[in-house]
Amino acid sequence: MAAHAAPVHVAVSTVIFALRPSPVDGRMTVWLPLVRRIRDPFVGMWALPGGPLEPDEDLAESAARTLAETTLLTPQYLEQLYAFGNTDRSPGERVVSIVYWALVRSDEADIAVESENVRWFEADSVPELAFDHSLIVEYALWRLRNKLEYSHIASAFLGDTFTLSELREVHEAVLQKPLDPANFRRQIEGSGQVVPTEQLRTGGRHRPARLYRYAATVETNGPLGRTEGAS
Amino acid sequence: MAAHAAPVHVAVSTVIFALRPSPVDGRMTVWLPLVRRIRDPFVGMWALPGGPLEPDEDLAESAARTLAETTLLTPQYLEQLYAFGNTDRSPGERVVSIVYWALVRSDEADIAVESENVRWFEADSVPELAFDHSLIVEYALWRLRNKLEYSHIASAFLGDTFTLSELREVHEAVLQKPLDPANFRRQIEGSGQVVPTEQLRTGGRHRPARLYRYAATVETNGPLGRTEGAS
DNA sequence: CCAAAAGTGTTTCTCATACACCCATGC
DNA sequence: GCATGGGTGTATGAGAAACACTTTTGG
């Protein structure tokens, strides 16, 4: 209706998850990169990577762009999390943030740069964040753990082929509890989410493990179809 | 960064669901109200109720407001569906739409007004809609059917107390398939979602049925907590 | 009494869990 | 050989589905 400057700004932020070994016991845990704010409000505090939505880019494009800018990575999985738009969530201005969550491969995440203003944190011990970003991270973690149990996103943390042990390790890291190897195998094989290849992975001081790869992607978001990810 | 007029507009739309008897066979089916567009683009076509986000209202508030404006009802259940923001979804301007979905009580929906520019449609036979609203309705229906199976939103279609037959009728209407009364009873009673009252509903030419009411609301959206609804 | 829906009991099947056990490799 | 993880077999129990059966009302 009003033709003058709209007072509502649109931003896109992304919660980026990767698995990395914990510094304490070496077991794999969930990590995410945060950026330090260099402007008010909340200058100096850690926050989710993101920025204003450009007029000529789609929402998911914007999420992938800021993801690449902060980590130099491309996501294996990218899905919209939620739109946060309460009037009081940013002091002094009205910002609606469309938040995405992404999974990146663990081997690539090792290459990801850190700097004075970009640092990876263990998901269980993120500091108090700017805006409502602490709540957002908590919600994204909840979604990740939830979706892992009825979807096949775990493979997004791994390479093209992987052993069932590696896949199980992903589940254990995300869910933070040990899983029975025998039952896990049956569950996964029975679900048809992965298919065995001809190759084996040798090198451990034990019997070689068969390598698997993703089956054709299964629709999991209904009419919205497949969410973006590696082609 | 730029201080001049932001070219990205924010709107809030709502998919409103109610159950009404089908005109063909009288069985309950899912319905939703649509409004006729009185402006370009897509003038004359049917679209979801909604409008621009006001600077001083929260997202859910905006959804509830447009819901009240078009149907004169208050939602029993209101939850964010998705944010749609592709660059090409509205010709000539850039609009990001935060879409909510709502459930209203069937007895109240009967009172809801219709007019030249507001009409209720059966969910299975909505016409081609303006913008990407056809896709949005399809997705909202998918979410409704999905969520019905692991949540207790069905009671939002009913009054404060209801019989298990009425609750089953809701499930059957939404899922479009008959359910075994005996097993349905056990499932619902075992879930703890409802509690029996002392009252019975008489009047049918058969044994009176016990009335139930909602149990204390269970968290189903994780850290985001309870979604808005009747207090 | 009969029709119809309320409500209970029981059988069967599927699937998750727990755990015993064999297989194949490095050292 | 022996330690280690890969992989198979199997008993048990919980819960879903199918369906027979009893109960209580209106007519």
- CA-to-CA distance for A24 and B95, rounded, in angstroms? 47
Q: Where in chain A is the domain with CATH 1.10.10.10?
A: 153-214
Q: How far is the CA of B195 from the C1' of C3 (A)?
A: 30
Q: What is the DSSP string of A36-102?
A: E--SSSSTTSEE-SEEEPPTTS-HHHHHHHHHHHHHS---SEEEEEEEE--TTSSTTSEEEEEEEEE
Comparing CA positions, the residue from B162, B127, B137, B139 lying closest to residue B50 is: B137
- CA-to-CA distance for B219 and B190, rounded, in angstroms? 17
Is beta strand A8-21 parallel, antiparallel or unpaired with respect to A28-36? antiparallel
CA distance A86 to chain B (A): 5
Confidence of residue A231 (pLDDT cuts 50, 70, 90): very low
CATH architecture of structural domain A8-150: Alpha-Beta Complex (3.90)
* Per-residue three-class SS string for chain B: CCCCCCCEEEEEEEEEEEEEECCCCCCEEEEEEEEECCCCCCCCCEECCEEECCCCCCHHHHHHHHHHHHHCCCCCEEEEEEEECCCCCCCCCEEEEEEEEEECCHHHHCCCCCECCEEEEEHHHCCCCCCCHHHHHHHHHHHHHHHHHHCCHHHHHCCCEEEHHHHHHHHHHHHCCCCCHHHHHHHHHHHCCEEEEEEEECCCCCCCEEEEEECCCCCCCHHHCCCCECC
Place of tokens 């069985």: B27
Q: What is the CATH number of domain A153-214?
A: 1.10.10.10
Averaged pLDDT for residues A64-76:
94
**CB-based contact, B98 to chain A, within 8 Å:** yes
Neighbours of A211 (CB within 10 A): 19
Digit-coded pLDDT (tens) for A172-209: 999 999 999 999 999 999 998 999 999 999 998 999 99
Q: Where in chain B is the domain with CATH 1.10.10.10?
A: 159-214
| A63: pLDDT strictly greater than 70 | yes
**CB-based contact, B85 to chain A, within 8 Å:** yes
Q: Please determine, looking at this structure, whether the domain spanning B159-214 carries the CATH number 3.40.50.880.
A: no
Contact B139 A224 (CB under 8 A): yes
Contacting residues of B for A147, CB less than 8 Å apart: none
Write down the pLDDT at residue A25.
Answer: 86
| A218: pLDDT strictly greater than 80 | no
Write down the pLDDT at residue A2.
Answer: 46
Which nucleotide is nearest, taking the CA of residue B202 and each C1'?
D25
Burial of A146 (0-12, 13-18, 19+ CB in 10 A): exposed
Provide the positions of strand C that have an atom within 7 A of a protein CB: 3-10, 16-20, 23-27
8 Å CB contact between A34 and A46: yes
Backbone φ, ψ for residue B152 (5° rounding): -130, 40
Q: Where in chain A is the domain with CATH 3.90.79.10?
A: 8-150
Write down the pLDDT at residue B3.
Answer: 47
Write down the pLDDT at residue A1.
Answer: 47
8 Å CB contact between A53 and B8: yes
**Mean of the per-residue pLDDT values of chain A:** 92
Averaged pLDDT for residues A62-75:
95
Contact A143 B222 (CB under 8 A): yes
8 Å CB contact between A31 and A120: yes
Confidence of residue A4 (pLDDT cuts 50, 70, 90): low
pLDDT top residue among A37 and B107: A37
Digit-coded pLDDT (tens) for A82-110: 999 999 999 999 999 999 999 999 888 87
Write down the pLDDT at residue A84.
Answer: 98
| A128: pLDDT strictly greater than 80 | yes
Instruction: State which residues of chain B have pLDDT below 50.
Output: 1-3, 229-231
Contact B139 A223 (CB under 8 A): yes
- Pick out residues whose CB falls under 7 Å from strand C: A 180, 182-183, 186-187, 190, 202-208; B 163-165, 181-183, 185, 200, 204-210
**CB-based contact, B39 to chain A, within 8 Å:** no
